[in-house]
Copies of this chain bind each other. A is one copy, B any other.
């Protein structure tokens, strides 16, 4: 059983979707720990309600390296083999990335490489694209930049606000994050350059 470590900063709706898939038995994994850098993150409370280990490691005032070493230690203590960022609003240090090589996933609400960084849905609306979407990728030291595991397109409507577009994309996020997890857990892939080749 692959032991998942979830990192989140907010409500963690992608964490909840993963937890639902695990509970339904269609992901061969268990959630070993949920960590948040914000003690008041609703995602921590959601984890506790599900009876999952939930740990706050506040990041405020801490040097990135120091913080990341604390997070790595907690993940190792819980025997985590695969780290899932689910709305974790921090860039990981090289130390963190090297501690879990090609074992950290992130989800981003755009079709990368378009609109990396904050407020991707707002960026998409401002740019006037007719198609946006979401991306699950391996995490490297750069922002929203590692090899891509899964993407889903989502139409952008003339009537969209950031909220309606974000909601439409979120639905696909919940679907493809578990799809990507299934690929990584299954192990039937290889990374060639930036490409993830399945099968």
Q: Which residues of A contact B (CB under 8 A)?
A: 111-115, 125-131, 133, 147-153, 158, 193-199
Contact = CB atoms under 8 A, between A and B. Distances in A.
A112 B133 contact: no
- Which among A148, A149, A152 has the greatest number of chain B C-beta atoms within 10 A? A148
Contact of A158 (B126, B152, B194, B197): B197
Given A114-B111, A126-B194, A194-B126, A199 B153 contact: no
Contacts of A197: 158
B126 A148 contact: no
A182 to B, nearest CB: 14
Contacts of A150: 130
Give the top 9 A-B pairs by smallest Cβ distance, nearest first. A153-B153, A128-B195, A130-B151, A128-B194, A131-B151, A114-B114, A128-B148, A131-B153, A158-B198
A149 B156 CA distance: 12
A130 B189 CA distance: 14
A131 B133 contact: yes
18 contacts: A111-B111, A111-B129, A111-B153, A112-B114, A113-B114, A113-B129, A125-B195, A126-B193, A126-B194, A126-B195, A128-B148, A128-B196, A130-B151, A131-B133, A131-B151, A131-B153, A133-B153, A153-B153
Contact of A129 (B127, B131, B148, B198): B148
Contacts of A133: 131, 153
Nearest to A114: B114
Given A114-B113, A114-B114, A133-B153, A158 B128 contact: no
Contacts of A195: 125-126, 128
A115 B113 CA distance: 8
Contacts of A151: 129-131
